[in-house]
Copies of this chain bind each other. A is one copy, B any other.
């Protein structure tokens, strides 16, 4: 396994691999790797000759009030993790390498970035789209693997790749969960024992919605479902705020406000919940 610090060195290696007809798989991450990332790397490992992982805590996708400075980092641990997972190259640039002085180009995906996470975190997806496009241009992968946990991110990246004719296939892998149901996240490291127990109720609420929607002849409306989910989550004492609970078309992110006429659609039920300073997101996809 090799660690690359500059865009030019990574791009050179990738172009060389492409000339030799090697299939390149890519897993972009912000580091502090966990089982969720491992499942992405395993997926890449299965389909690719060469697996690239990038580790870069992208300042562009953090708001001024967000946790950029204290986002967890441990490169030595990540390096070992990648080596054991069979990664071939880690692309590990610093901020100056990605955004040199006078950097000024940004990618905006309109419409689908304006709701859910985008509504609460303005410019977040501009940062995500910009860094992912840069990484795809650097690593030149045949495919890139993302986690379903960041559902809107996956939609935004798919849309960007399609709109800009980027020659990379986007693969989205199911969310990996802890035993109690809590979605794996680097940020979970900050949860107290009690918060961690309560955080499992996010998935319980999502499963409740799934069970109800898939019940034949279920005829309550979505507002009722939302209020029941809200009750369930608010019953946990360490929950300080629910930012949103939302039902959307999983492709267009159009809001779904009724369970009528949703045959053949994938319903994305997503939520964001705060535990004091910590903010967790989760989601489930439901086919009726």
Footprint of B on A, CB under 8 Å? 7, 11, 15, 18-19, 21, 102-112, 129-130, 133-134, 137-138, 140, 159-160, 163-167, 252
Q: Which among A7, A160, A163, A166 has the highest number of chain B CB atoms within 10 Å?
A: A163
| Copies of the polypeptide in the assembly | 2
Contact A103 B163, CB 8 Å, known A18-B18, A21-B19: yes
Contact A105 B11, CB 8 Å, known A18-B18, A19-B19: no
Q: A110 vs B130: C-alpha distance in the bound complex, in angstroms?
A: 13
| Closest chain B CB from A6 CB (angstroms) | 11
Contact B138 A105 (CB under 8 A): no
Residues in B whose Cβ lies below 8 Å from that of A164: 105, 107, 130, 133-134, 137
Contact B165 A105 (CB under 8 A): no
Residues in B whose Cβ lies below 8 Å from that of A163: 103-105, 134
Contact A11 B104 (CB under 8 A): no
| Closest chain B CB from A143 CB (angstroms) | 14
A-B contact pairs, 10 of them (CB 8 A): A102-B111, A104-B109, A104-B111, A105-B160, A106-B107, A133-B164, A134-B163, A137-B164, A138-B165, A140-B167
Contact A104 B134 (CB under 8 A): no
| Closest chain B CB from A132 CB (angstroms) | 11
One of B19, B104, B109, B167 near A105 (C-beta < 8 A): B109
| Closest chain B CB from A259 CB (angstroms) | 24
| Closest chain B CB from A110 CB (angstroms) | 4
| Closest chain B CB from A274 CB (angstroms) | 29
Q: A166 vs B108: C-alpha distance in the bound complex, in angstroms?
A: 17
Residues in B whose Cβ lies below 8 Å from that of A109: 104-105
